[in-house]
Amino acid sequence: MKNLLIIGFVFPEPNSTAAGTRMMQLIDLFQKNNYAITFASSASKTDKSFNLETINIKTQEIKLNDANFDKLLKKINPIIVLFDRFLTEEQFGWRVSEICPKAIRILDTEDLHFLRNARQLSIKNKIKISTDLLFNEIAKREIASIYRCDLSLIISKYELKLLKKTFKIDKSLLFYLPFLLDKIDLNKIKQFPTFENRTNFISVGNFKHEPNWNAVLFLKNAIWPKIRKKLPNTELHIYGAYCTEKVLQLNNTKDGFIVKGWVENIEEVYTNAKICLAPIQFGAGLKGKLINAMEFGTPSITTSIGAEAMHGKLTWNGFICDEANEFAIKSVQLYLNKSIWEEFQTNGYQIIDKRYSKTKFQNSFIKKIDKIQVHLETHRKQNFIGSMLLYHTLKSTKYMSKWIEEKNKN
């Protein structure tokens, strides 16, 4: 067995976040290729954390600025260390480099945080996205992390192109790996409720994620009143983990705006709803909520940002609208039109099979890792910027961490 250490910002929550689902897909991929996995995080487990021990994965709670992590590294002696976002690479990458220099360091970007941040500022300040917004502090940190790693997993082709064209990152350091899904089960989808047996609209997304919260507010204030006026007997059900008081205050039974919060059986939520609404104003990566909508046969209406890089040249499983009035009009149209609804449902199934079939990506990913393993020294020599950044990280982050470590002892 080959040892893999995953360092997570949090323990995966596949029933709450798309990031959690993504991590479970990666875990499954590595397990099927005979990797013994240890998952470590400086965060505590929550009631929504997946019980990794049930699938034979060891877990470890670790501390920042603590030499005990070095002992853990020596004990595991991984041939691969996977960081689940650039923040964990910043915190622990230098220790991995020092203690396990021959371990391949892989960064799963999940989505580009700097891109999401730039788009949020664009919306907030009502200005067009530009290189001035993209070249932000988070970008400098995230791009540096990509260079320090031997390989970075990119979930969106839009983001892959951005990194290559705008930031001039060599393709040898990047690997396109979207969601890894099973083929649509034709027998299963035949059992889903039909158009006539579905009612109401849904919106899904955990409320810790700022783009989701923003989308709910956009629905509440600008879109839902228009839909409700045309369809007075319908309701919009809002689902998501970490439903705080500010979210609950939006609940209004009279207006049909119902905050449901977290739900364990998300499949039931989707298959009983007629349409998924996702008016995402900013964000990055691929949207798990829209993937779920396709899987469960629920047409969706979203924005250009929401649908970005998700369907390629294939037709979307609903409508793509960036303006509130059009969004509402299309929502009503789709809710009432069976033939269009069924056509869009089929589009969603085709997108899943043609864009996200895991058999299409798994073998090439493992081959890429094996190739880097064999030629690791050469691979790193070709990445001088990465070695330079790693050198300076060891000189700065390392000694700052050790200073904090000593301070904590005292």
Q: State how far the Cα of 154 lies from the Cα of 162, in Å rounded to an integer.
A: 11
Q: What CATH topology corresponds to 2-181+358-409? A: Rossmann fold (3.40.50)
CA distance 35 to 269: 35
CA 162 to chain centre: 17
Quick one: tokens of 43?
């965060």
The whole-model pTM stands at 0.95
For residue range 238-294, what is the model confidence (pLDDT) as tens digits?
999 999 999 999 999 999 999 999 998 999 999 999 999 999 999 999 999 999 999
What mean pLDDT is predicted for residues 365-387? Answer: 97
Contact 79, 3 (CB under 8 A): yes
Establish whether domains 2-181+358-409 and 186-355 are of one fold: yes
Asked if residues 87 and 111 have their Cβ atoms less than 8 Å apart, the reply is no
Domain boundaries, the chain: 2-181+358-409, 186-355
pLDDT of residue 250: 98
pLDDT at 401: 66
Measured CA to CA, the distance from residue 230 to residue 320 in angstroms comes to 20
The mean pLDDT of 382-390, rounded to a whole number, is: 94
Q: Is 321 helix (H, G, I), strand (E, B) or coil?
A: coil
Q: What is the DSSP string of 272-318?
A: H-SEEEE---S--S--HHHHHHHHTT--EEE-HHHHTTTSTTSPPSE
Integer Cα distance of 256 and 236 in angstroms: 6
Instruction: Give Cα separations from 141 to 28, 129, 148, 316, 333 (angstroms).
Output: 29, 19, 11, 34, 45
* Strand partners for 12: none
Question: What CATH code is assigned to 186-355?
Answer: 3.40.50.2000
Q: What DSSP letter does each residue of 70-133 carry, written as one string?
A: HHHHHHH--SEEEESSHHHHHHHHHHHHHH-TTSEEEEE-SS-HHHHHHHHHHHHHT----HHH
Whole-number Å distance between alpha carbons of 398 and 65? 9
Residue 42, number of CB atoms within 10 A of its CB: 18
Average pLDDT, the chain: 95
| Structure tokens given for 348 | 């969603």
Is the pLDDT confidence value at 177 over 90?
yes
Higher-confidence residue of 124 and 398: namely 124
